Amino acid sequence: MFKAEVYIKRREELRKKMKKGLGLFLGNVESPMNYPANTYHFRQDSDFLYYFGLDLPGFAAIMDFDTGRDTIFGNDFDMDDIIWMGPQPTVRELASKTGVTETSPVAKLEETVSQALSKKRKVHFLPPYRGETKMTLGAILKENPCMMKTLASIDLIKAVVSMRSIKGDEEIAEIEKAVAIARDMHVTAMQMCKPGIREQEIFGAIEGIALSKGAGTSFPVILSMNGQTLHNHSHDNILKKGRMMVTDAGAETIMHYSSDITRTTPVGGKFSDIQKDIYEIVLKANTESINATRPGLSNRDLHFLACKIIATGLKEIGLMKGDSEEAVKAGAHALFMPHGLGHMMGLDVHDMEALGENYVGYNDEIKRSDQFGLAFLRFALQYVPGHVFTVEPGCYFIPELIEKWKADRKFTDFINYSKIDKYMQVGGVRIEDDVLITAKGHKLLGKPIPKTVKEIEAVCS
Ligand code: GLY
Ligand code: MN
């Protein structure tokens, strides 16, 4: 946990934004995997972590925005718990770590909320994303659990998003630690990327690094020589020369701050000419986009910049044609890069996605497009100091999509379908880094992770 002052200050700021009513925060509970006592790895809710820091199952909190009283709801361990799980601090001791003096058993939560509702006070809560939380909220609020997302407080969502979007120094230090773990994971993956090895072995090795140095991975590792599938979670292949392995993997620190890094390595550690053709284009999109980031620019503009670099590069090697700016405007480049440039990152790897992507990445002025490719851009807003986000351009040869567009004669003014065959074996290339917006420009987070052709070939040898 951070010092109590960090959480006290965050709650003070939230109180100023909300002014009235109650804020009801449910921490996560243990979730059974295959029978009740065999639970999934416990992950605390990120908003609960942000405002209260307590990283244990079964806690809740109420902030009374009118009176300024905060209460932690939790149950002290009884003897049975201690026998099986060892001694634990009391709820009062835990609450004091987050600067809260009032505590109450969980059983009192429903009564406290009911009293507020009977006085017609507004109870604000955030949209739940787990069945257990929906059920508990439904029971406490006496509402249909299926309606909990719809009934969540937009005022509270907006207040929380406005705070969590701007990272404090203590958060940035954590994210840097998470990138350092990711660096070890990626260097190991590059060194293991040899013909004959099963992807699963590399997957296991780098997941082990994340677990041995932090709280594990920040999302299920994506690792495959079939990188043309953007989020490939199957690791069954035996690596073959001629293919490229996409590794999209990040770590969570013990405090649950994330990193999210992607590197693409040629199997065997040496780039062929066609691999280099595509790799250099994506690398240029990655480095030039990162170099352009500064306060005031929007992430949507950065997305267009990266797409234009991809389209221009693909034109130079004959895969695209015509005016690159026009091609990007029309969405033709999305055949090769059908995703957004990146997303905010923090306590969640897709930060605050549970609160609603459009509250996090869009506002009343910048609305989400429905154009194929651009529609997947999660974060489009103007940068301000304290924003942390990923920059992850890619270029993919997705057989099904290429076949469909070719049959539909889509964007024939911009795409040379007859030239694509030669590059199909490249599969996919993605290069991702984590960036912070500073007062004057930006900072690439963490120590550099091998990225140029020369650096990757050196690590692999
Ligand atoms: N690293 C996975 C993603 O950004 O979706
Ligand atoms: Mn990412």
Same domain, yes or no: 403 and 254: yes
Q: Tokens representing 151?
A: 């009934």
Across 375-397, average pLDDT: 97
- 């000419």: which residue's tokens? 273
Listed residues 164, 187, 222: the one ending a domain: 164
Q: How far is CA 216 from CA 64, 176, 188, 212, 259, in A?
A: 35, 15, 16, 8, 11
- pLDDT at position 199 is 98
Q: CA-CA distance, 212 to 214, in Å (whole number)?
A: 6
Q: Say yes or no: 159 and 189 in one domain.
A: no
- Which pLDDT belongs to residue 111? 96
Q: How many CB atoms lie within 10 A of CB 370?
A: 7
Residue 393 Cα to ligand 2 middle (Å)? 10
Is the distance from CB of 233 to CB of 220 less than 8 angstroms?
A: yes
Ligand 1 pocket test: which of 219, 341, 344, 345 has the largest number of ligand atoms within 8 Å of its C-beta? 219
Of the listed ligands, the closest to the CA of 433 is 2
**What pLDDT, in 10s, does the model give residues 295-307?**
999 999 999 999 9
- Give the ligand 1 atom nearest the CA of 250: 1
* 199 and 126 fall within a common domain: no
Contact indicator for 346, 260 with CB cutoff of 8 Å: no
- 312, 317, 428 from 277: Cα distances, Å: 12, 8, 12
**445 — alpha (psi -120 to 50), left (phi > 0) or beta?**
beta
Identify whether residues 279 and 418 lie together within a single domain.
yes
Tell me the residue type at 60: A
pLDDT digits 0-9 by tens, 302-358: 999 999 999 999 999 999 999 999 999 999 999 999 999 999 999 999 999 999 999
Last residue of a domain, one of 164, 190, 223: 164
C-alpha of residue 313 to centroid of ligand 2, in Å: 22
Cβ neighbours around 386 below 10 Å, total: 17
Tens-place pLDDT, residues 252-310:
999 999 999 999 999 999 999 999 999 999 999 999 999 999 999 999 999 999 999 99
Distance 123 CA to ligand 2 centre (A): 34
- Which residues approach ligand 1 with their CB closer than 6 A? 219, 248, 260, 343
Mean pLDDT of 193-200: 98
Burial-class residue 130 by CB neighbours within 10 Å (0-12, 13-18, 19+): middle
CA 176 to chain centre: 15
Are residue 321 and residue 205 in the same domain, yes or no? yes
Do 127 and 180 have their domain in common?
Answer: no
CA of 252 to the centre of ligand 1 (A): 14
Minimum-distance ligand 1 atom for the alpha carbon of 260 = 1
**Residue 457 CB: number of other CB atoms within 10 A?**
16
Q: Given pLDDT bands bounded at 50, 70 and 90, which one contains residue 140?
A: very high
Same domain? For 94 and 222 the reply is: no
Residue 403 pLDDT class (50, 70, 90 cuts): very high
Ligand number nearest CA of 246 is 1
By DSSP bridging, strand 428-430 and strand 433-437 are unpaired
CA distance 182 to 221: 11
Domain match, 192 and 251 both = yes
CA distance 244 to 457: 13
CA angle 405, 312, 240 (to 5 degrees): 65
What 3-state class would DSSP assign to 233?
coil
What pTM was estimated for this model as a whole?
A: 0.97
Count CB-CB contacts under 10 A for residue 44.
19
Domain of 428: which CATH number? 3.90.230.10
Task: Determine the 3-state secondary structure of 461 from DSSP.
Answer: coil
Beta strands in 186-283 (DSSP E): 216-217, 222-224, 244-249, 251-252, 261-266
User: 60-64 and 38-39 as β-strands: parallel, antiparallel, unpaired?
Assistant: unpaired
Domain region containing 59: 4-164
Residue 199 tokens read as 């992807």
pLDDT of the residue at 9? 98
392 contacts: CB under 8 Å, gap ≥ 6: 260, 262, 286, 341, 342, 430, 431, 432, 433
- How far apart (Å, rounded) are the C-alpha atoms in residues 386 and 372? 30
Mean pLDDT of the residues in the chain: 97
Produce one character per residue of 67-102: b if its CB has 16 or more CB atoms within 10 Å, e if not. Answer: eeebbbbbeebeeeeeeeeeeeeebeebbebbbbee
Residues 174 and 320 occupy one common structural domain = yes
Closest C-alpha among 27, 30, 25 to residue 42 = 30
pLDDT band at 450 (very low <50, low <70, confident <90, very high): very high
Per-residue confidence (pLDDT) for residue 32, from 0 to 100:
97
For a substitution probing ligand 1, which of 286, 299, 390, 391 has the most ligand atoms within 8 Å of its CB? Answer: 390
- Residue pointed to by tokens 């639970």: 39
Q: Which among 337, 349, 357, 433 is the best mutation to test ligand 1's pocket, defined by most ligand atoms within 8 Å of the CB?
A: 349
Structure tokens given for 392: 């992850």
> Ligand 2 centroid vs 328 CA: distance in angstroms?
21
- Residue 299: helix, strand or coil by DSSP? helix
Question: Residue 350: what pLDDT?
Answer: 98
Q: Does 174 lie in the same domain as 159?
A: no
**Domain CATH for 11:** 3.40.350.10
262: CA distance to ligand 2 center in Å?
A: 8
pLDDT at 424: 97
Instruction: Give the model confidence (pLDDT) of 213-237 as tens digits.
Output: 999 999 999 999 999 999 989 999 9
In this structure, the answer to whether residues 147 and 201 fall within a common structural domain is: no
Cα of 152 vs centre of ligand 2, distance in Å, is: 27
> Number of folded domains in the chain?
2
**Residue 266 DSSP SS3:** strand
Closest protein CA for atom 2 of ligand 1:
248
Closest by CA to 290, choosing from 354, 341, 247, 256, is: 341
- The pLDDT score that the predictor gives to residue 308 is 98
Query: Could you report the per-residue pLDDT of 30-61, keeping only the tens digit for each?
Result: 999 999 999 999 999 999 999 999 999 999 99
Burial of 284-322, coded b for 16+ CB within 10 Å and e otherwise, reads bbbbbbbeebebeeebbbbbbbbbbbbbbbbbebebbbb
Residue that finishes a domain, picked among 164, 198, 219? 164
> Residue 177's pLDDT is what?
98
Number of neighbouring beta carbons within 10 Å of residue 113: 22
Tell me the Cα Rg of the chain. Answer: 24
| pLDDT at residue 274, rounded to an integer | 98
pLDDT level of residue 360 (50, 70, 90 thresholds)? very high
Q: Quick one: 191 and 53 in the same domain? A: no
